[in-house]
Structure 1
Amino acid sequence: MHQDFPESRLQQLLPELIAFRRDLHAHPETAFQERRTAAKIAEWLGRLPGMTLRTGVAETGIVATLAADKPGPCLAFRTDMDALPMEDRCGQPHASTHPGVAHACGHDGHVACLLGAATLMAAEPERLAGPVRFLFQPAEEGGGGARVMIEQGALEDPRPVAIFGLHGWPSLPAGTVGLRSGPVMASTDNIDLTVHGRGAHAAYPNRGVDPIVAAAHIVTALQTVVSRHRDPLEPAVVTIGSFHAGTARNIIPDTAELHGTLRTLSEKQRRASRAAIRQVVEQTAAAFGARAELQLEEGYPVNVNDPGIKAYVERVAVEQLGRERVVDGIPVSMGGEDFAYYVQQVPGCFWRLGVAPADGSPGVESLHNACFDFNDEAIGTGVRVHCGVAWSWTRKGQLC
């Protein structure tokens, strides 16, 4: 642990952060509906000296700036606030009180980490190299809240020189962090397909065009986008997760609907895979006398860590936690994250915060599992690294 870190102050603050996190967990809100969440966060931030607030960004987001008039480079830290539209079965006293909504991705914990860091930074503004921007963002879970925040000026006045974010990670033990350079999370494009045939009686298939048969062959053929169209050294995933057609066993329907996702780790592979999907879908449908109506909706970009900024965060984490608690070269995730929009604008680093029990015992489910509950033991680590990143940045952007 770094000797200059205010450990006693953090230990005094942790019970309040844990209580705040559990309150958010009990009152989850989905994308662009985070009104209570935002109000609680704004109330906390409003008590901090030197903090200026802008609320209602991207509907419910908050842009808070500490030491806004301080000369020097501005750093930005981002957290997401939204919950998922699913049931909460964590079994804890602080389980969701909102049916069908749950903090099953740990955004409640992410908020607690950033609030704790903001609180400690506000207590020692003289340690900052310049202003610090805190982004409390709505709608990460599919809503693209980051893009809207950027469009509404979250990265302006002053513009940050770097941006940082974290995500709780169940495969890493609490007290540790994980990093990697380059692509860290995948792009996420949506596949929406309607196969148009011609309805008929099931006893006379020759009198119609069966969209189910055509669609089934399309699902199979799409597997060649990865196995035959893709550069073997470029990761990609094509998954069809929804297939709906027909109303009765003796009717060949007019249409079949398929929905899926494309994940890639480079814009080059993304473009190539999109072109291959269209070719496979349209030509396979035509081979069965059907017609394919394909929509490829562009989702989140590839989330790419700047090598220099990642190296800086790694050095800070080693100073704060010790070498043995910092995992370099963690595997890339084919999941998506709209933090990617921020790093298209300014260099940044998105790192993983371990949330598994530190003793190796079971207890933390995977993300997006109804039983998931953020491990409160990880909050202190998130605060330490956030603060270290801000306090170690000098006017030249070098580690003190």
Structure 2
Amino acid sequence: MPIINRIADFATDMTEWRRHLHTIPELQFDCHETAAFVVARLKEFGVDEIHEGIATTGVVAIINGQGDGPTIGLRADMDALPMTEETGLPYASKTPGKMHACGHDGHTTMLLGAARYLAETRNFAGRVALIFQPAEEGGGGGEVMCQEGIMDRFDVREVYGMHNAPGIPEGTFATRPGPIMAAADTFHIHVKGRGGHGARPHETADPVVAACGIVQAIQTISSRNLDPEQQLVISTTQIHTGTIDNVIPDTAYINGTVRTFSKEVQAMVMRRMQQIATNVAAGYDLEAELVYDMGYPPTVNHPDQTDFAVEVARDVVGEAAVMPDMPAIMGAEDFGYMLEARPGAYLMLGQGEGPSVHNTKYNFNDDIAPIGASFFVRAVERSQPVAGK
């Protein structure tokens, strides 16, 4: 596969960067050591501007090309997960309870590799904005960086990002126009009854029975309120109530996640969940309160930019290794905020077989880092060619 030769030349350096980052996982916005490492490398590469402290530890670096032109944004996430690593690798996490279990160390490395090459060659017009983002794994760092004005401040015209993908063949790019990843919402239902002795249930308003009825009814939202050709996941993941076998409690708590691809379906779920919680509870002579937290929006690729990204991917790995119409994924990703702010596209880069992300035995495949860096570079050079070349 035609990885850019110069990037292949420093692939060993990229592996060293990635494995160092793997040893120092940091959570959400507290990516101080990671950001310091990124800034140190960017200074070595000779980028033109480095802007730190965006969304606490986010970094935006600017590389100027040859002559006037627009600014293209390239994004990588930096944060890790609150998990204890079980890989046994010599470069495993040095911090118990924290682990790069989603490959953000690899994403950061790919963007650093692209930065090094672009700062050396500058074979493009306009500017590149390299966006190193904290808090993708909860916290919505992408939203915060947009709220703090990076798109306008750096005059970003369009933006691209990617994620490694275990289970997809190594070096294969996969994407699709339109929704590629789901919105991720959280629901909390507080059932309020009247407790009492388990031997005298007729004297109570039993929240346990009501909670079971609510959970069962919620499952009918997708089967009875949605066109089966549309996609929706509602998963109840927690029910907490009671303390002992002979006491009916006063309250019960229900919690879960909702995954959707459209605001219309999302609104329908909120409406029906409210109706179900209220009315099922009333049928048991008690009350229920729904708290519905809207999380990350769906990640929705823009058609023109997706077509362009597919062309770039084919240039890097060949047509046979590009999936231009992959199935949408029910997982969520806060790059959706950036795609709401600017046109762009998000891609998956296959890393072959092995443990999936968010697994204590997961490890990023270093062999795909030069491929990802080459994609970023080719996207810049093809999107913003130097005049006369």
* TM-score normalised by the chain length of structure 1: 0.94
Partner of 1:326: 322
Out of 208, 212, 215, the position equivalent to 1:212 is 208
Task: Tell me which of 6, 9, 14 is aligned to 2:11.
Answer: 14
Alignment counterpart, residue 379 of structure 2, candidates 389, 396, 400: 389
Does the CA-based 8 Å contact 2:170-2:350 persist in structure 1?
yes
| Secondary structure of the corresponding residue to residue 244 of structure 2 | coil
Alignment of 1:106-125 (within 5 A): 106-125=103-122
In the alignment, structure 1 residue 159 sits paired with structure 2 residue 155: yes
Q: Aligned partners of 1:40 and 1:60: how far apart in 2?
A: 12
* CA deviations over 1:41-64 (Å, ceiling 9, x no partner): 111111222431110110011011
Deviation at 1:12, TM superposition (A): 2.4
Contact persistence 2:67–2:386 (CA under 8 A): no
Query: 1:62-83 deviations in whole A, cap 9, x for unaligned?
Result: 0111118952111001111110
2:295 aligned counterpart, secondary structure:
coil
Partner of 2:223: 227
Q: Deviations over 1:241-264 (max 9, x none)?
A: 111111111111111111111110
CA contact (8 A) 2:173 2:347 kept: yes
Deviation at 1:106, TM superposition (A): 0.7
Distance in 1, Cα, partners of 2:209 & 2:157: 54
Give yes or no for the alignment of 1:380 onto 2:365: no
- Pick aligned residue for 1:171 from 167, 172, 179: 167
Pick from 80, 84, 91 the counterpart of residue 83 of structure 1. 80
1:92 matched residue in structure 2: 89
Q: Give, in whole Å, the separation in 1 of the partners of 2:66 and 2:172.
A: 34
Question: Residue 248 of structure 1: SS of its match in structure 2?
Answer: coil
AA at the equivalent of 2:340: Q
8 Å CA contact 2:125–2:386 kept in 1: the answer is no
- Secondary structure at the aligned position of 2:257 is classed as strand
Q: Which amino acid aligns with 2:283?
A: A
SS at match of 1:273: helix
Partners of 1:225 and 1:176 in 2: CA distance: 36
The answer to whether the aligner puts 1:268 opposite 2:258 as a matched pair is no
- What does residue 281 of structure 1 align with? 277
Distance 2:205 2:386 in 1: 67
1:318, 1:325 within 8 Å by CA — same for their partners in 2? yes
List alignment gaps of at least 5 residues for structure 1.
357-361
Q: CA deviation at 1:161?
A: 1.5
Q: What displacement does 1:233 show?
A: 2.0
SS in 2 for 1:270: helix
Question: 1:168 is paired with a residue of what secondary structure?
Answer: strand
1:145 partner amino acid: G
Aligned-pair CA distance for 1:157: 3.0
d(CA) in 1 for partners of 2:118, 2:274:
51
1:23 aligns with 2:20: yes
1:360-375 aligned within 5 A: 362=353, 364-375=354-365
**When the two structures are aligned, how many residues end up with a matched partner?**
388
Q: Which residue of 1 aligns with 2:100?
A: 103
Question: Which residue is 1:351 aligned to?
Answer: 347
- The Cα shift of 1:231 comes to 2.1
The SS at the match of 1:292 is strand
Between the aligned residues of both structures, percent identity stands at 38
Measure the CA separation in 2 of the matches of 1:212 and 1:142: 31
Alignment partner, residue 195 of structure 2: 199
C-alpha distance in 2, partners of 1:192/1:346?
A: 32
Partner residue of 1:66 out of 41, 63, 78: 63
Residue 336 of structure 1 corresponds to 332
Matching residue of 2:40: 43
Amino acid aligned to 2:51? R
Q: Which residue of 2 aligns with 1:359?
A: none
Which stretches of structure 1, 4 residues or more, deviate above 4 A after TM superposition? Answer: none
| TM-score scaled by length of structure 2 | 0.97
Please say if residues 75 and 162 of structure 1, whose CA atoms lie closer than 8 Å, have aligned partners that are also in contact: yes
Give the CA deviation at 1:6: 4.1
Give the SS at the match of 2:10.
helix
Counterpart of 1:371, as a letter, is K
